[in-house]
Each structure stands twice: as structure tokens, then as C-alpha cells.
């Protein structure tokens, strides 16, 4: 059942009003102590900070006077504020500097980094991959039920902690669904994770673009790289569209799951709910009690490599 957070066609106005009601007018660094920078992306930098004795992550949106960038930052803040789910990074607060109008957002700190680190440093068996996919799909099921398309699901935007939690983050490219397609037809995202209809079509897209990205992530966790990684982006996507994905050896159950996630036809591609309800998928998830041991092993491998590099 879909119940949009915002009225279709009125998203911009409603997001702006919601942002103004959520944001605190003040300097974030009056209440947060910055410790170290964690990452630097297209739309902002993320730092680890301490607030009221707790570690948090602070996103500083890159300052620009372009109205479209303010709208993007406002939408990210509001979606993060509204999203309350175990598989979505928890919103802590948002601040608007009265000095230079810079926007900051405070979120829960995930102490094991992102899924990219886990994929790079630790091989995961199919059952562990299924558990990661389950958590991402649970988060997407929640977002989709509220009319939100993430549009940039990739390992860097899936956060991990040492307890084994998996959480979606970074709504900088998110948009809203309005009945038959996204509320805008802007085709932005991360190459290799973009669905065929998102890359090639001029007729709009829907929630399926997020499901396709989950399929690419699942393939990458199983095989160590995205499909057709040796090809240029557009050719890789075209090969996925015309020839399908390469087969994954010795994972027959996951083959069927990948087929449902990476269906080139968005009309017949699985939804988050339909995959989560599959008996073969649930059985595979049950075979992995916890992701924590794999995450710890990945952290140890990362530390060991950094020590050797020194």
C-alpha cells in the first residue's frame, strides 16, 4: 500500500515548508565537535563528530547559490527526517547557518563504514549476501511505500556497523513518485547501477530503478565486481539489456533471485516486497544468523592492509 509523504505535484512546496519546520537556525559546531572527515562527495562532505557525548556523522552540504541545489539539500533533510526504519540511517538534526546559509545534517554514526569497504575486504557467502540484500530491500520497501525513489542505491550509500546492521543513507538524488513515473525525468545516478529504462528511456521510470541497483550490488557481492565491469558504462548497460547478466557459478538459488531483481523489463521486474516474500530467499537469509562476524573480519583485513602500507 502506497501512502505518499507529499501530495503529488506539490512536492517542492511541501518539502520547503517541512524543511523550514525541521531545520535549526544556528551554527552546528556550537553543539558538535568535529573529529575527522570521513568522505567527500559531489554534494557534500561527511565528518565524524561528537555531540552530547555521542559519535555522530555530520554532512556539510556544499555551498552554492543555485536554487536547484538548495532544493536537493532540503529534500534530503526532509526525507531523512521523515524516514524512521531500522534499515535507514537515523536522522539526528539539521542546521542552517545564519552567517552564510550553509546547511548541515547530523545522522547516526555507523562505525564500520560503508558496504563498499565490506565488499572490498571480505568475501561473503550467498547467505550473507542475501541478508545484506534483505536489509536494503526492507529499507526500499518502506521508502517506496511512502512515494520515495532513492535513485542512487550503491555500496557507498549503504552503511554498516559492527553489530551487523545495514542501513541506506544519502538521499541527495532522491525524488518522488507520482502515479506512473518519477516526479521529474532527470536522469542522474551512478554508472553501472542505473537501470536500462533509467539510462536509455525518455518515458520516465519508477521504483524499479532502485530494485535494479540492488541486483547489481548483489551480483557484485557474489562475484567481486559489477557485471561487464571491463566494458564502458553505456555498453555494459546495453549488454545487460540485450544479453542479460553473466551467470553466477554455484549459486543456483541466487541465480533465480538475481533474475527477478535484474529483469530488463521494468514492468515485470520484482518489487522489494515480492523478493522479501519469496520462500527461497527467506530460507537463504535464515542460513546467516548475523553479519557481524563478516564485518569484523573485513575491518581486521582493512587494518592489516593499512599497517602493511605504512
**Catalytically annotated residues:** 152
Task: Give the 3-state secondary structure of residue 305.
Answer: helix
- Distance in angstroms (rounded) separating the CA atoms of residues 168 and 160: 9
C-alpha count within 13 angstroms, C-beta hemisphere, residue 77: 30
Residue (of 264, 16, 276) closest to 142 by Cα position: 276
Take residue 200 and report the three cell numbers written for it.
536509455
Rounded CA gap, 307 and 310, in Å?
A: 5
DSSP-assigned letter for residue 232: -
Return the C-alpha torsion angle 272, 221, 182, 104, nearest 10: 110
Q: How far apart are CA 310 and CA 302, in angstroms?
A: 13
Strand-pair category, 91-96 with 103-108 = antiparallel
The DSSP output letter for 155 is G
* Cα–Cα dist 23/232, whole Å: 42
**Helices marked H in 152-227:** 196-200, 208-223
Amino acid at each position: 500500500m502506497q501512502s505518499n509523504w507529499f501530495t503529488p505535484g506539490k512536492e517542492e512546496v511541501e518539502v520547503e515548508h517541512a524543511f523550514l519546520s525541521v531545520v535549526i537556525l544556528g551554527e552546528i559546531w556550537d553543539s558538535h565537535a568535529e573529529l575527522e572527515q570521513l568522505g567527500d562527495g559531489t554534494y557534500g562532505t561527511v565528518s565524524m563528530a561528537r555531540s552530547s557525548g555521542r559519535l555522530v556523522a555530520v554532512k556539510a552540504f556544499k555551498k552554492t547559490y543555485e536554487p536547484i541545489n538548495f532544493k536537493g539539500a532540503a529534500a534530503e533533510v526532509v526525507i531523512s527526517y521523515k524516514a524512521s526504519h531500522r534499515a535507514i540511517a537515523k536522522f539526528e538534526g539539521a542546521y542552517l547557518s545564519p552567517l552564510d546559509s550553509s546547511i548541515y545534517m547530523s545522522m547516526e554514526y555507523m562505525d564500520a563504514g560503508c558496504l563498499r569497504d565490506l565488499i572490498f575486504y571480505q568475501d561473503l557467502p550467498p547467505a550473507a549476501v542475501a541478508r545484506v540484500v534483505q536489509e536494503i530491500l526492507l529499507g526500499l520497501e518502506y521508502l517506496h511505500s511512502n512515494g520515495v525513489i532513492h535513485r542512487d542505491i550503491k555500496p557507498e550509500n549503504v552503511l554498516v556497523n559492527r553489530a551487523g546492521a545495514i542501513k541506506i543513507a544519502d538521499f541527495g538524488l532522491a525524488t518522488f513518485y507520482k502515479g506512473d513515473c518519477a516526479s521529474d525525468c532527470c536522469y542522474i545516478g551512478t554508472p553501472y547501477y542505473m537501470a536500462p529504462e533509467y539510462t536509455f528511456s525518455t518515458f520516465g521510470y519508477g521504483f524499479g530503478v532502485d530494485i535494479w541497483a540492488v541486483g547489481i550490488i548483489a551480483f557484485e557481492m557474489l562475484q567481486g565486481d559489477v557485471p561487464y565491469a571491463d566494458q564502458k558504462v553505456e555498453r555494459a548497460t546495453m549488454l545487460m539489456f540485450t544479453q542479460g547478466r553473466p551467470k553466477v557459478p554455484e549459486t543456483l538459488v541466487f541465480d533465480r533471485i538475481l533474475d527477478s531483481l535484474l529483469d530488463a523489463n521494468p514492468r515485470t521486474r520484482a518489487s522489494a516486497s515480492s523478493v522479501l516474500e519469496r520462500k527461497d530467499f527467506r530460507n537463504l537469509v535464515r542460513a546467516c544468523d548475523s553479519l557481524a562476524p563478516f564485518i569484523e573480519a573485513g575491518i581486521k583485513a582493512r587494518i592489516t592492509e593499512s599497517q602493511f602500507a605504512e
